[in-house]
Amino acid sequence: MPDRPEDGRSAIWGGRFAQPQDPRFLAYGRSVQWDARLAPQDIRGSLAHAQALHDAGVIDDAQAQALRDGLEAIARSLSSGEGLHTLPQDEDVHGAIERLLGPAGEYLHAGRSRNDQVALDFHLFCKESGEQLAGAVRELQTAILRQAEAAGDALVPGMTHLQEAQPVLFAHHLMAYFWMFERDRRRMLWAAAQADRSPLGAGALAGTGLPLDTMATAKRLELAGIYENSIDAVSDRDFALDLGHAAALCALHLSRLGEEIVLWASRPFGWIQLPDAFASGSSMMPQKKNPDAAELLRGRAGRVVGRLVGLMLVLKGLPLAYVRDLQEDKEALFEIVDTLREGVLLSAALIDAAQFTPPGVPQGDLMLATEIADHLVRQGVPFRQAHRLVGQAVRLATTQGGSFLNLSEAEWLAISPHFTAPALAELLDPLRAVARRAVPGGTAPQRVREQIAQGHLALQG
């Protein structure tokens, strides 16, 4: 392999420079430590571009064959782990691969700039990453579905303001996460589709002057289309922000799930028994079993959102067309994609292995207050009045052990003649309360079973 350290004069762009690059700038400007990760995409793009050059008659059979052989050899050596050690002397992955190609590489860059080249690599990466993340989210959804099925008709206190509000099926609560992640999965696939086009042919910005069939190249790369505008093609990073946004929302959802797992694992809740494999101990308190995994899911959302905001700020106010600021895109998105993928897969494994212990809701619990008010409404009492009457019953019950069961028949009837013993027997049963919430999307067992069936269907699409 020829040795061509990119010190400026000897860089791929070195012809017009008399002085070497200052080592401080060399180090500051180098991106190969990050973008080496794009080597597989870069090689795929170069194979397609070499074919386009050959098809256009810009290079001959032998040159095309030499490029193919060279690129495939580099791909092999990179995937076997060799070759990477030769990259640190280069400015970026594009220069590195061209250097590794040797004399054959001298023909490759016709009709192409690193501006459309890096944009293509990044499109390919974002498309693959969106699809992979969607697959990871699917695993999490599958784990949630399984646990929702296993939970059957078990009840938990549904919360508002983190205060006990109304009984709900635990499966219903879990399924709320399923649908949040279903939207995430759809957004990731949508983001992958936003990256599904090729900027090649844009050249530096104005479009190449060589007769390259850019649509054929896009097809060869299994990309759905090309850009309408070469300046947009090299300047656009919207597709990366789309993926970043899909990932940031998913990270927010993971953080909410993480927070709930932390709560559920605490003694006052006790809704989840964390498997040892996903818990940590204390260095001092021998009895502790801490939900660190869930805490990290909650905490790491900051990284994903922060990286997205950071990338948006890089893009803010940039002039057209390519500017070097755009180099900052990769490190940000790599961290977003990696952090999220690890978080999603960790949650899937944790949910799958967890044992849920929904506490149920006792007969006569104050969470049934709305049922009792609804009963008065069915008897023709205006709701606001019903609310006040049941409020009186709640006030009385809180001085008598906090349960409606402790109120006497006389106390009920003194509040309203509609509070007969047979009516109350119905109203104070939490299972009947949930069964009544049979609106589509409600927590009635029948509706939740339908919801789980819809969930299975959604995952097939």
Q: Which residues bind ligand ARG (CB under 6 A)?
A: 31, 35, 92, 114-115, 118, 322, 324, 326-327
Q: Which amino acid is located at 157 in the chain?
A: P
Our answer to whether residue 54 is catalytic in this structure is no
Q: How far is the CB of 36 from ligand ARG (least distance, A)?
A: 11
Give every CB contact of residue 180 below 8 A, 6+ residues apart in sequence.
Answer: 253, 256
Q: Please say which residue, 227 or 404, places its beta carbon nearer to ligand ARG.
A: 227
Q: How far is the CB of 238 from ligand ARG (least distance, A)?
A: 16
Q: Are 107 and 63 in contact (CB under 8 A)?
A: yes
Reported as half-sphere exposure (CB side, CA atoms, 13 A), residue 253 has a value of 24
In sign, the C-alpha dihedral spanning 220, 222, 227, 233 is: negative
Q: Are 368 and 425 in contact (CB under 8 A)?
A: no
- Alpha carbons 379 and 416: distance in angstroms, whole number: 11
Q: Please say which residue, 115 or 194, places its beta carbon nearer to ligand ARG.
A: 115
Alpha-carbon distances of 194 from 237, 238, 281, rounded to whole Å: 10, 8, 44
Reported as half-sphere exposure (CB side, CA atoms, 13 A), residue 174 has a value of 34
Give every CB contact of residue 349 below 8 A, 6+ residues apart in sequence.
Answer: 143, 278
Q: How far is the CB of 51 from ligand ARG (least distance, A)?
A: 22
Q: How far is the CB of 114 from ligand ARG (least distance, A)?
A: 4
User: Crossing angle for the helix pair 114-151 and 329-353, nearest 10 degrees?
Assistant: 10
Our answer to whether residue 235 is catalytic in this structure is no
Q: Please say which residue, 161 or 324, places its beta carbon nearer to ligand ARG.
A: 324
Beta strand 355-356 pairing with 272-273: antiparallel
Q: Please say which residue, 148 or 333, places its beta carbon nearer to ligand ARG.
A: 333
Q: How far is the CB of 276 from ligand ARG (least distance, A)?
A: 44
Q: Please say which residue, 199 or 291, places its beta carbon nearer to ligand ARG.
A: 199
> Catalytic pick from 79, 282, 408, 456?
282
Q: Please say which residue, 111 or 430, places its beta carbon nearer to ligand ARG.
A: 111
Q: Please say which residue, 78 or 326, places its beta carbon nearer to ligand ARG.
A: 326
Percentage helix, strand, coil, to 5, in the chain? 65, 5, 30
User: How many CB atoms are located within 10 Å of the residue 168 CB?
Assistant: 24
Q: How far is the CB of 92 from ligand ARG (least distance, A)?
A: 4
Q: Please say which residue, 114 or 447, places its beta carbon nearer to ligand ARG.
A: 114
Residue that has been written with the tokens 């709701």 in this structure? 383
Q: How far is the CB of 450 from ligand ARG (least distance, A)?
A: 50
In sign, the C-alpha dihedral spanning 180, 458, 186, 262 is: positive
Ranges assigned E (strand) in 257-357:
272-273, 355-356
Burial code (b: 16+ CB inside 10 Å, e: under 16) for 344-361 equals bebbbbbbbebebebeeb
* Nearest alpha-carbon partner for 243 in 196, 194, 314: 194
User: Crossing angle for the helix pair 114-151 and 170-194, nearest 10 degrees?
Assistant: 160
> Catalytic pick from 80, 85, 161, 283?
161
- Alpha carbons 128 and 122: distance in angstroms, whole number: 10
Q: How far is the CB of 453 from ligand ARG (least distance, A)?
A: 47
Q: Are 2 and 95 in contact (CB under 8 A)?
A: no
Positions marked catalytic: 161, 282
